[in-house]
Amino acid sequence: MAFKLLSAFVALLFVFDRSLDVQAALARHPSQVLNVAPAAEEAIPAGTVRMQALGITKRPFGDHIKVHDADEDKILEIANTPDMQLPSYEVPKTFDGLLSPVMQGNGVLFQRESKVQLKWHKFQTELRKKGISYEDHYAKQLKWDGPYPANKEPAMIDERQVKNEDWVKFERAQFPVKLPEDTEHVIAWLRAPLTTKECFKPVGKEIPPSDHEIFMANLKPYIEFINGHDVFGTNVDMKDEDKLQFAKDLMEVNDSLDLQEKLVHGEQEEKAAKAYRDAKNLENEQLLAGLEADNSAAEKIDLPHVERAKEAMLWAVQNITRMIEAKYPGRRFVWFRVNRWIR
């Protein structure tokens, strides 16, 4: 499956059961693929992230489109990043088998069937002929192509906006990924930011995690970490063994180390972060030298600041889970939003 670049709005890929009593959801960000330069007419391989023109100096979509989780420098940095080939994850037989992979961080690895991928290729070819970016196309389709209403932006997207189409819209995926037979793929489009400082505050009888005070004292870098990585959630009670595996496969992106190091708390975590960066730099040197990269040293380093960031992510995106529950009451679901480097 191909994804590239940024959108002004968040798209959550959401999967639910076709029966009346069960629902599953997969959610992720937005606008599928953005090829800035004209691409060749051959089909894009499933799992490929493409950006054909490097040296891009201007955002490749309309200036009126608001991007919440990246400034202009980050947009250009991502636009000038080479292709990435994503591996494919085997589709489980039922929704119950979908929960664990998504909550471990592998939701983006589910691919389209070949027929659907060809339809997607035809769609992107037609847009390219017209010189229209995916961001601009979807903004117009959603009727969100006017000036961004910043003065009306909600402090937090949650169940209160579920019927407000100025900020939230649910649609069945036009080009769905292959999923278990008992699930369906839906996209929830969000116009406002996914994560704000309000998302970290307890709602109702929610009990904050033990590190909540650390989150609240350092909110900006935690929000930056969440904005920079995949995020996911579910309304299903996870088994204890699955809880221990939460976000274990969280994808590292180009700026992960920088985002992680802003979260260190104390001398021990600073030492761990430095050791981890040194180990990753050594891996990169081995790759450039044509050697087999050894990641065992990095894997042995405990990173409590990263584990705390994952906990913060799980806590701070409960607003999205509540929103989906309000849209589909009584249904089971799992959702994710893919990171800005992939989308």
Question: Is residue 226 included in any domain, yes or no?
Answer: no
Domain-located, residue 212:
no
Show the domain range for 80. Answer: 10-202+231-252+320-337
E-state strands within the chain = 10-16, 48-49, 84-85, 168-172, 184-190, 231-234, 334-337
DSSP string, 152-195: G--SS-SGGGTT-TTTEEEEE-SSPPP--TT-EEEEEEESS-S-
Report yes or no on 97 lying in a domain.
yes
Q: How many domains does the chain have?
A: 1
For residue range 317-335, what is the model confidence (pLDDT) as tens digits? 999 999 999 999 999 999 9
Residue 170 lies in a domain: yes
Give the tens place of pLDDT for each residue, 120-179: 999 999 999 999 998 999 999 999 999 999 999 999 999 999 999 999 999 999 999 999
The answer to whether residue 306 sits within a structural domain is: no
Pair 123, 33: CB distance under 8 Å: no
Q: Kindly state whether residue 164 falls inside one of the protein's structural domains.
A: yes
The 10 Å Cβ neighbour count of residue 55 is 7
Query: Is 209 among the domain residues?
Result: no
Residue 64 scores a pLDDT above 90: no
- Which of the four pLDDT bands, split at 50, 70 and 90, describes residue 84? confident
Whether the Cβ atoms of residue 342 and residue 86 lie closer than 8 Å to each other: yes
Residues in the chain: 343
Domain contains 137? yes
Structure confidence at residue 243 (pLDDT): 86
Q: What's the pLDDT band for 54 if we cut at 50, 70, 90?
A: low
